[in-house]
Structure 1
């Protein structure tokens, strides 16, 4: 089966899943306009509104010209024309509808509601539903995740050979970013939520790993500019430092996440111990995780291991400690589920998630690694198989 046929079949599966959920909730239609959700339902991005009734074919209300053809396309200038066009086509006007109320601006959402002449109590949150649907991947999506993981691994394998003595953290990050682009990286880091700006990933060296950041990522870093206070800060890489590389796997629309740690010479025994404990957490969770297990239980498994080893003061930061150890991965880097102590989510077959138990050791840097796992009927499959021990760059 060629790519286009496989994609077309998969889009039908995704739309059917959404329509089944709409019918279950008694919703008449869904309107999507954010790029990530339009892409999920269309396989392309356009400026306009994807309209899907609970039964029947999708309609594409497009505001700007596109270079590809879609069935059931109607060109409009403003959302007020949607209702008029539905009436022209003899279609039922929706009374209860799904809108992306978590991601649309208040004014855009309010305008859509007014233009469709809807009661606000009949608006259902499409943002939450779409994120949940997207968290369980189809076979086509998994093929794209595997492609991304393969290229992600190829880039990381070359990192030891681009390091040069005297580099700053930013020097090394720039070289990795160039390597990523040469291997097909899309050059962006898609994430969900406000205040989630980032480079093509994060690189943390030495004491900078302790610096807190206002952004909601696992670890912080001062960053190179006050407008983006996160990650590498321009300081020279020194002997005894660790270098934590957490650069995005965005080599297909479906992403992977992977962290590996390098050092310049030997580091402290505490740092080596903490890295080994990160490995113990991975191994324990891989041995116990399966469909149906609570994400909160996985977090608690990790914390039990951390506390038993007396490393809680360093886990997921020092001056600021993240309260999660993993997250779903897909079209965005931070999809459901999230592995937190308060999570109500359960693992399901075909969920893809990143597990990242990390430690920050003062005067040394960050240690611990991150893999992307696929939940299968039989447990977890590691999609990012690569050396997990700390690699001493002085020995390369």
Structure 2
């Protein structure tokens, strides 16, 4: 089992502390699993206090032994009851924070109300934007984990042609894909920050099911198996001469990349082949234009304009229901910053990582591509790799 090194945690916390000071916050109290993992290296049930100045304090409800083994933070202490939080901060020299940051984008209201009572003398403010900005720029350590996740995807996608056969159901193919992921170290959980944005490993869909919109904020949906999780693979038999899209999140040591490829047994209609070529052109164009300082909104506008030039705007990023993005940040969560979306004003920075997914959706299916890239000083550098074209099988 691999743990996050102490110097890595120090760098992450120092970057965040600089943001806290710029915003005039005295500190931030962090409880959400993804953020806990990023700043402490563990997701044991705990409160992590990061002061604007000084060492972070991890206060653990359960399990203290595992937290001390998994986290390289210097100050890890037991916390029997959250009511002890103010006293604990005072005991470690932090006093009562005047302005206290919380993860208000994900924190349940009932928890927020408890913190209001506990920190009655403090002004509770939203620090989630700062946290997400800090996490958006990946460190070399994180990029190593993402490269390993990309290698996992390469292995799994390479196994698809050996698993695929006419007449098998989407669910059967998904089971083969997911089993391959697990055999090679996938953690079995895909984290998302968005409320109710549940997802498993990703999508394995075919034909008209690719055009079925769902609750999930994505260009393709699928019917799923039942209304409790009405997305993803269903019992539809996979046929010949129709698109099969494998859109999966490969995850190693908590870090995930997003990747899609189109397979087909036989041959796709000419209009789908043409649309796939346009998707590749959009991806190549964004790779040329994406530099530090360019906004996600500018890149989405370029992609949409290209789709219009080819007469494909009605099919770009959805059919019956569209999404207004062509890329999204990835890392510990599937929906990180930056977002290449309509009107997005966040500028790209060196070290940001995002999945770029130009796709076209038709009533009879969908085509397109998705790969994960890191923003370099001179442009995008590909993390995931595989044959970009439609992968035809006998």
Is the TM-score greater than 0.5? yes
Describe how 1:230-379 pairs up with structure 2 within 5 A: 230-363=231-364, 365-379=365-379
Deviation of 1:168 (Å): 0.7
Task: Give the structure 1 partner of residue 29 of structure 2.
Answer: 31
Measured against aligned partners, the alpha-carbon deviations of 1:232-251 in whole angstroms (never above 9, x if no partner) come to 22100111211010011112
Q: TM-score, normalization: structure 2?
A: 0.95
Q: Which runs of 5+ in 2 are unaligned?
A: none
Task: Give the structure 2 partner of residue 93 of structure 1.
Answer: 96
Please give the alpha-carbon distance, in whole angstroms, between the structure 2 residues aligned to 1:20 and 1:339. Answer: 26
- Alpha-carbon contact 1:270-1:361 (below 8 Å) kept: no
Q: Does 1:14 align with 2:15?
A: no
Please give the alpha-carbon distance, in whole angstroms, between the structure 1 residues aligned to 2:289 and 2:257. Answer: 22
Of 39, 59, 74, which residue of structure 1 is paired with 2:57? Answer: 59
Aligned residues: 388
- Alpha-carbon contact 2:106-2:195 (below 8 Å) kept: no
Measured against aligned partners, the alpha-carbon deviations of 1:108-154 in whole angstroms (never above 9, x if no partner) come to 011112112234xx222122211111001111111111111111111
Please give the alpha-carbon distance, in whole angstroms, between the structure 2 residues aligned to 1:50 and 1:189. Answer: 23
Task: Give the structure 1 partner of residue 392 of structure 2.
Answer: 392
- Alpha-carbon contact 2:192-2:334 (below 8 Å) kept: yes
- Alpha-carbon contact 2:210-2:366 (below 8 Å) kept: yes
Describe how 1:160-199 pairs up with structure 2 within 5 A: 160-199=161-200
- Alpha-carbon contact 2:318-2:361 (below 8 Å) kept: yes
Q: TM-score, normalization: structure 1?
A: 0.95
Moved segments of 4+, more than 4 Å: none
Please give the alpha-carbon distance, in whole angstroms, between the structure 1 residues aligned to 2:204 and 2:243. Answer: 10
Please give the alpha-carbon distance, in whole angstroms, between the structure 2 residues aligned to 1:18 and 1:124. Answer: 15
Please give the alpha-carbon distance, in whole angstroms, between the structure 1 residues aligned to 2:357 and 2:96. Answer: 47
Higher relative strand content: 2
Structure 1 window deviating more from structure 2 (264-273 vs 224-233): it is 224-233
Deviation of 1:199 (Å): 2.0
Secondary structure at the counterpart of residue 350 of structure 1: coil
Q: What do you get for the CA RMSD once the two structures are aligned?
A: 1.4
Please give the alpha-carbon distance, in whole angstroms, between the structure 1 residues aligned to 2:132 and 2:153. Answer: 24
Secondary structure at the counterpart of residue 13 of structure 1: helix
- Alpha-carbon contact 1:145-1:252 (below 8 Å) kept: no
- Alpha-carbon contact 1:316-1:323 (below 8 Å) kept: yes
Please give the alpha-carbon distance, in whole angstroms, between the structure 1 residues aligned to 2:83 and 2:20. Answer: 23
Measured against aligned partners, the alpha-carbon deviations of 1:333-369 in whole angstroms (never above 9, x if no partner) come to 1111111121111111000011101011332x11000
Deviation of 1:68 (Å): 4.3
Q: Does 1:79 align with 2:79?
A: no
Q: Structure 1 residues 114 and 149, CA, compared in 2 at 3 Å: closer, same or farther?
A: same
Measured against aligned partners, the alpha-carbon deviations of 1:263-319 in whole angstroms (never above 9, x if no partner) come to 121110000000000000011111111100111111111111111111112111211
- Alpha-carbon contact 1:209-1:219 (below 8 Å) kept: yes
Please give the alpha-carbon distance, in whole angstroms, between the structure 1 residues aligned to 2:92 and 2:314. Answer: 63
- Alpha-carbon contact 2:296-2:344 (below 8 Å) kept: yes
Please give the alpha-carbon distance, in whole angstroms, between the structure 1 residues aligned to 2:214 and 2:92. Answer: 52
Deviation of 1:51 (Å): 0.9
